[in-house]
Amino acid sequence: MGFYLERVLPWITDVALSGKEFDRLRAKVCAGLSGEVLEVGFGSGRNVPHLPPDVARLRAVDPATAGRRLAAKRLAATSVPVEFVGLDGEALPLEDASVDHVLTTWTLCTIPDVDRALGEVRRVLRPGGALHFVEHGLSPDATVARWQKRLNPVQNLVFGGCHLNRPIDTLLERAGLVVSPLETFYARGPKPFAYLFEGVATKI
């Protein structure tokens, strides 16, 4: 990992994904998490303050380890034990059916082989366990989708491999997860960057 990806981007992301609207969405997506939880794409730990007390342990995976330093205050303030268990969502160092919930927020856009990572999510979830997610992705509006396609190469370059137009619901279903409930909507900001998928995907 180069200096930009390892040191600069985690800081940019930490700032870009902060504020009231993001906190409201983080609280919503973290509601209902319990037991053994895995977060894929831990980033700077911005979900940590929103973890319910029912979470027994958070195991975290992210290749950009600089995020852990940015998370220091949030880690010090939580009563939930947090363990950093790996670097890559595509190869999780966890047993089959070993977690109750998985959490991803604005991460499925960036993992290079997202199908493989979702296969891993399904593998480590216990039957009846669920992925809680809020992710940006492909807009159903043709004009916005065209802009997403146009802007993708720049987005990819600046934001460490982030794709604007991944069809999040389709990817989750393709991984064999049952997506319900699902809300889709535009958050504040330019539409190509702001089409969100928020919900729960369960391993039946």
Q: Is 124 in the site for ligand SAM (CB under 6 A)?
A: no
Is residue 182 involved in binding ligand SAM (CB under 6 A)?
A: no
Q: Which long-range contacts (CB under 8 A, 24 or more apart) does 185-193 make?
A: 186/139, 187/21, 187/25, 187/136, 188/21, 191/139, 191/141, 191/144, 191/147, 192/139, 192/144, 192/147, 192/148, 192/151, 192/164, 193/136, 193/155, 193/164
137 binds ligand SAM (CB under 6 A): no
Burial of 11 per CB tally in 10 Å (0-12, 13-18, 19+): middle
Residue 17 or 187: which CB sits closer to ligand SAM? 17
User: Rounded distance, CA 135 to CA 161, Å?
Assistant: 15
Q: Does 199 bind ligand SAM (CB under 6 A)?
A: no
- Taking the alpha carbons at both ends of the chain, their separation in whole angstroms is 37
Q: Single out the residue of 111, 138, 144, 201 in contact with ligand SAM (rule: CB under 6 A).
A: 111
Binding to ligand SAM by residue 192, rule CB under 6 A? no
Cβ nearer to ligand SAM, comparing 86 with 129 = 86
Residue 63 near ligand SAM by CB under 6 A: yes
| DSSP conformation class of 89 | T
Shortest gap between Cβ of 142 and ligand SAM (angstroms)? 26
Q: How far is the CB of 76 from ligand SAM (least distance, A)?
A: 18
Contact 2, 64 (CB under 8 A): no
- The yes or no reply on residue 155 touching ligand SAM (CB under 6 A) is no
| Distance in angstroms (rounded) separating the CA atoms of residues 30 and 186 | 20
Closest CB to ligand SAM among 107 and 148?
107
For ligand SAM, what does the binding mask look like between residues 68 and 107, x meaning CB under 6 A?
Answer: --------------------xxx--------------xxx
4 or 143: CB nearest ligand SAM: 4
Which residue(s) pair with 195 in the sheet?
Answer: 186
Would you tell me which residues interact with ligand SAM (CB under 6 A)?
Answer: 13, 17, 40-41, 43, 46, 61-64, 67, 88-90, 105-107, 110-111
